Copies of this chain bind each other. A is one copy, B any other.
Amino acid sequence: MQSHGGPGGLWARRAFLGALAVGGGVVQAQPAPSAQEPLAARLPQSMARPGGADVPYGQPSAYEAAVQRSVSHVSGFAGWRTPLQHQRGIITPSGLHFAVHHNGVPDIDPARHELRLHGLVDKPLRVDLARLLRYPMVSRVHFLECAGNSAANALSPTALDQTLGELAGEVSCSEWTGVPLSYLLNEAGLKDRARWVVAEGADGGSHSRSLPLKALLEHGMVALYQNGERLRPSQGYPMRLFMPGWEGNVNIKWLHRLEVSDAPAYTKDESGLYTQVLADGRIERFAFHMDVKSVITHPSGQQTMPETQGFYEIAGLAWSGYGRIARVDVSVDGGRTWAAAHLHGPVLDRAFTRFTLPWKWNGRRADLLSRATDEHGRTQPLRGEWKRRYALHSFNHYNAVQAWRVQADGRVENLYA
């Protein structure tokens, strides 16, 4: 029972598929009742009558009503978190995309909205929606993560017993479509001294951040669409700045102004909340990239294993603000031994990558960890390593290994490894 191909019951994917191919039932579906069972008893009620009408804009099943974003605050400053423990694949449904609002969700009439581009340019521009929609567009699948995602794991002295979404759900992944910012910046004409761009949202708190011009020219996008339709209000409708791999709060929602400058503006949003204090007292400012990270989604916090032993597929998500995921290692014994998970393609640049690994659980307490490594060799620290790097009350850019304890009775709990 103990070992079926690897440490702690972890199976290499090839061995697992080989077992399946010869008819090895992994989950052991129930045998069907005999053919003598009366037909009427076998027919679902739904086959006895016509179905209901469909609607012009579809919604999830009423039986899935519990699959919602959780919220950390209910005031103007609110963090809505993706229930990653319910997500499969790499695309987050737009209705469940995380959002952190500093001043609520403004109501913006797209017919009256325009984007201004001014400062160190030859020709200041203003662009309304009708005009912007005529520019060439590109689409990219990218994750987006709040700088403060997993803050509870960074700050709480003991591991909080919460779901994955509550603990680390301020990250999601969508197909974003919009106009490359370079088109607008080049059209305006950049002055020689131009080095930074201050981006401002049209929300009640005029959330704003300074971003290096060079990176914006290379990767910046004015995003207009998410997963095939116009941005949702809580994602910045009618337009947002999008910088792949960079912390969420620089992806300015409800974007209405871009000011080209020769230096950062040191706005309240970059001199305060979104700086980080290191262990030696120095301040880490303009740390834009979100680092490599992973979470096991199945099984995860507050779930219960349906049976207290047997086959399970361990599944999770990995991402890096620096590029593609190269590998994910999984441990079921608290980090003593590791096995390489299977990465499901397409493995995209700065996007969620799904990983899985078959596991034959022996029914004893097991500590599950995942550790992602990206194409540049960046990998995740353990929590202790992360804590030693930052000051006691720092919590941004937390990317330490997320661990889950599977108890012998099947309960799954958050764990500091």
Contacts and interface: CB of A to CB of B under 8 A. Distances in A.
Interface of A: 16, 20-27, 29-33, 35, 42, 44, 46-54, 56-61, 63-64, 67-71, 74, 76, 78, 80, 86-97, 99, 101, 103-110, 112-113, 116-118, 122-128, 130-131, 134-139, 175-177, 182-184, 186-189, 202-206, 224-225, 227-235, 237-238, 254, 256, 306, 311-313, 315, 344, 346, 348, 354, 356, 358
23 contacts: A16-B136, A26-B136, A26-B183, A27-B134, A30-B128, A32-B118, A44-B112, A46-B108, A46-B254, A50-B103, A50-B104, A50-B204, A51-B107, A53-B78, A54-B71, A54-B78, A57-B68, A61-B231, A61-B237, A61-B238, A63-B109, A89-B175, A91-B228
A40 B88 CA distance: 47
B204 A51 contact: yes
Contact of A101 (B51, B89, B135, B204): B51
A280 to B, nearest CB: 38
Contacts of A237: 61, 63
Q: 9 smallest A-B Cβ distances: which pairs?
A: A51-B104, A32-B124, A46-B106, A56-B68, A89-B139, A88-B177, A25-B187, A29-B125, A51-B106
B90 A139 contact: yes
Contact of A46 (B49, B96, B202): B202
A187 B23 contact: yes
A209 to B, nearest CB: 16
A312 B234 contact: no
A344 B117 contact: no
A67 B60 CA distance: 18
B186 A20 contact: yes
Contacts of A230: 60-61, 64, 67, 86
Contacts of A78: 53-54
Contacts of A70: 56
B23 A306 contact: no
A89 B227 CA distance: 7
